[in-house]
Amino acid sequence: MSVTPRLNRLFASDGKCFDVAIDHGFFNEPSFLAGIEDIARAVRVVAAARPDAIQLSPGQARHLQGLPGPDKPALVMRTDVANCYGMRRSHVLFSELVEDAVPTAVRLDAACVCVNLLQLPDQNELHRQCIRNISQLRADCDAAGMPLMVEPLVMRTRAAGGYETDGALEKIVALVRQAVELGADVIKADPCDQLDEYHQVIEAASGIPVLVRGGGKASDDEILARTEKVIRQGARGIVYGRNVIQHRVPQAIVAALMAIVHGGASAEEAKKMLCA
C-alpha cells in the first residue's frame, strides 16, 4: 500500500514540513515537562499557529485529533519509549515499542509514525533493539500505507552524567545512511557541529527527505540562523520541540520558522516577526 497519501498530508505542497514535537512526557524526564504541564493547552496553542504537523504519543494524540475542523496540523505518532535522555544514566538502557503501534496510528488518523535509531557509546544491544524496532515497524507500515520517520540519534557520555547529543558529522552521516538502508520514508536528524557541512547529511539520505531535529533549548538568534542554514543546504524541514513549547510566544516563533521553511526568509527577516 502506498505511503504517498499520508506523506502528502505531512508535507506541504512545496515539499517542506515543520513538525512540532510535543511528545517529551513519554520519556520520564522531569525537566522535559517545562511548557507542557498543561498539554491540552500547549497543543491548542501550537495547533492554532498552524505548523504542518505535531508529534505526540499515542496517549496524548487525542488533544490534537479532538480539535474540530479539517485544517489542523497532521499527527506524527511517536512509537517508542526510551530512557537515555535523563540527567542520570540508567543501569539498563532500552527503547521499547508500544504494542500495536501502526494499527494504533491508523485508528488515530496519523500521517506518520516516528521511531528512534540510537547510537550510544558501548551500548550495542540498545542499537540492536532499535534496528529490530525499525524492522518490525517497516513491515507493519508497508501493510498499512503508513510512512515511517526514523530518528537517527548519536549521543556521547555527558561529563556530569547521562548522555548528550554528539554533533560529529561522520557519525551522523553513517547513522542517517543506516536509517535509509533500513527503509525510512522520512529522516529526523540532528544538526552537525559545523553547519556548513550539513549538505553531506542530505547526500547520505539518498533522496529521502531530511527534517532537522531541534534538540535542547537555544536562543532565538541561534535557532533561526541554524534553520536558515540547513534549509539552504537541502533539508526539507525541521522538527522542533522545546524551542517552540518553551518559547515566550510560541505562536510567534512558529510563524518565524514557517517563514524560513516555506517562505525562504532569512534568519534576520524572520527575527523581525518576533518583534512585531
Q: Containing domain of residue 64, as a range? A: 4-275
**Which has the minimum average pLDDT: 12-21, 27-36, 161-170, 224-233?**
27-36
Identify the CATH number of the domain in which residue 132 sits: 3.20.20.70
Q: How many CA atoms lie within 13 A of 127 on its CB side?
A: 13
- Listed residue (40, 59, 58, 24) closest to 217, CA to CA: 24
Closest CA to 111 of 42, 180, 52: 52
pLDDT, position 66: 97
User: Cβ(64)–Cβ(54) under 8 Å?
Assistant: yes
DSSP 153: E
What local confidence, expressed as pLDDT, does residue 160 receive? 77
CA distances from 149 to 156, 221, 260 (A): 23, 28, 22
The pLDDT > 90 percentage for the chain reads 85
* CA dihedral of 20, 148, 176, 12, whole degrees rounded to 10: -50
Q: What is the CA radius of gyration of the chain?
A: 17
* Domain total of the chain: 1
3-state secondary structure of 74: strand
Mean pLDDT check: name the lowest of 43-57, 78-92, 103-117, 226-240: 78-92
pTM of the model: 0.96
> Residue 87 above 90 pLDDT?
no
What mean pLDDT value characterizes the chain? 95
CA separation for the pair 54, 36 (Å, rounded)? 13
Q: Is the pLDDT confidence value at 219 over 80? A: yes
124 C-beta neighbours (distance < 10 Å), count: 10
pLDDT value for 276 = 60
pLDDT tens for 150-208 read: 999 999 998 777 889 999 999 999 999 999 999 999 999 999 999 999 999 999 999 99
Helix 250-263 to helix 267-275 angle, to the nearest 10 degrees?
150
User: How many residues are present in the chain?
Assistant: 276
